[in-house]
Copies of this chain bind each other. A is one copy, B any other.
């Protein structure tokens, strides 16, 4: 079956992080994850608390839903999760439908699973999870994914590591040394994804901390350190 479990669609909004930071995009969140990161900012996509919000949709219904929400007011769709890489044929179809309308697809996944449609994605972000997440990286799988993306000859793939502490930073460095030819984005972690109100001062302090680590480190001359712009502006609100 080619249906996709969707827990939310929203937009247009601005992509707040990573390789296409700052661009207008729609968001589609798939349900289900093979990870359980301790600090996940979208735990409702896998922890069961919002299971009644999940709908199984054909790729065409997703496209129609996006067009209903935004008409012609977008050229980019970001598919996040959960882990969209748990989904096979349906995702390949959705990407083809988007491309047929001239819409670009950006997908984020943690690098725990390969899908052949990775090679069709316009902006593929592989975001392996650092030690603070409580997850353990499957390096063989990650090697395999990065190798295949390299072999595809398309420069559409980047890495992103969220950094909460110096142990995570060392992990990010290990990722960079293992795949030096892949653009690497570092992003300070949001240490309280439930705090209400304006959290920008706390987030900017962590960005400065991460800036200073990179500034002092000759092994990190080419990485990019970026905040989550949406969290700076809209804080911990959902659907922005």
In the complex, A44 has a CB within 8 A of chain B? no
Q: How far is the CA of A142 from the CA of B61 in the complex (A)?
A: 44
Select from chain B the residue with minimum beta-carbon distance to A215: B12
Cβ of A211 under 8 Å from chain B: yes
Bound CA–CA A83/B185 (angstroms)? 30
Query: Is residue A194 within 8 Å, beta carbon to beta carbon, of the partner chain?
Result: no
CB pair B200 A201 closer than 8 Å? yes
Q: Kindly name the residue among A20, A217, A218 whose own CB sees the greatest number of chain B CB atoms within 10 A.
A: A218
Copies of the chain in the assembly: 2
1/0 contact trace for A70-91 toward B, CB 8 Å?
0111111000000000000000
- Given A22-B185, A208-B233, verify A222-B14 contact (CB < 8 Å): no
Question: How far is A220 from B73 in the complex, measured between Cα atoms in Å?
Answer: 8
A113 contacts chain B at the CB level, 8 A cutoff? no
Which of A93-101, A133-141, A163-171, A223-231 makes up part of the contact surface?
Answer: A223-231
Q: How far is the CA of A128 from the CA of B25 in the complex (A)?
A: 26
In the assembled complex, A49 has its CB within 8 A of some CB on chain B: no
Among residues of B, the one whose C-beta sits closest to the C-beta of A13 is B215
Residues of B within 8 A of A22 (CB): 185, 224-226
Residues of B within 8 A of A56 (CB): none
A50 at the interface (CB under 8 A from B): no
Q: Residues of A within 8 Å of B, CB-based: how many?
A: 38
Please, what's the 1-or-0 string for A202-213, where 1 marks a CB less than 8 Å from any CB in chain B? 001001100100
Q: Are B73 and A224 in contact, CB atoms less than 8 angstroms apart?
A: no
Q: Are A75's CB and B233's CB within 8 A? A: no
Closest to A224 in B: B22
CA distance A190 to B222 in the complex (A): 28
26 contacts between A and B (CB under 8 A): A12-B215, A13-B211, A13-B215, A14-B225, A20-B224, A21-B21, A21-B224, A22-B224, A22-B226, A23-B222, A23-B223, A24-B214, A24-B221, A24-B223, A71-B218, A73-B217, A73-B218, A75-B221, A75-B222, A76-B221, A200-B200, A204-B232, A207-B233, A211-B233, A226-B229, A227-B229
